[in-house]
Copies of this chain bind each other. A is one copy, B any other.
């Protein structure tokens, strides 16, 4: 028997609310230092009430990361493969956008680095995410080589790793010292130079 439509709707709203509050808690405190009890309180739920939706903290983190992935996927235009300079410009826009969503950036920075600690439930997600990014960005750079915008012979996987590293490193400095570090400006300058370096 399927649930009553309105009840299902309320269940989905509740799940979204829990994911939203969990995202805030993981970003502010890290995964290890967040608790189911505190997230339940943020949602106005009892602990068993929350556990009805997500059986444990690791399941909740997985749901938060899936949610972030879907946002990225849409915003990043990864549903269609951009190529060459168009893909690089898209990245600059992504970083500009990120300056308006510090909570999401902080979640990513905190959880990604925490994932290098022992037995972290997000480790596979994080490792896999970098591999996907490498493949996506290398593909975009290969597209630029194919269409004649970029020089042949570029190690596109290496440049892809470099671009990800620059995004992450600038995010961290911006989160720590936002008055002093304009990550979008710094990233744009980096991408402009990179574009010159890659171009024919």
Contacts and interface: CB of A to CB of B under 8 A. Distances in A.
Interface string A106-150: 100110111111100001001100110000000000000000000
Contacts of A186: 158, 161-162, 165
A162 B169 CA distance: 8
Interface stretch (A26-34, A41-49, A69-77): A26-34
A131 B177 contact: yes
Contact of A197 (B158, B164, B193): B193
B30 A114 contact: yes
A96 interface: no
A7 to B, nearest CB: 36
B177 A127 contact: yes
A54 to B, nearest CB: 21
B106 A116 contact: yes
B114 A110 contact: yes
A30 to B, nearest CB: 5
A177 B130 contact: yes
Contacts of A193: 197
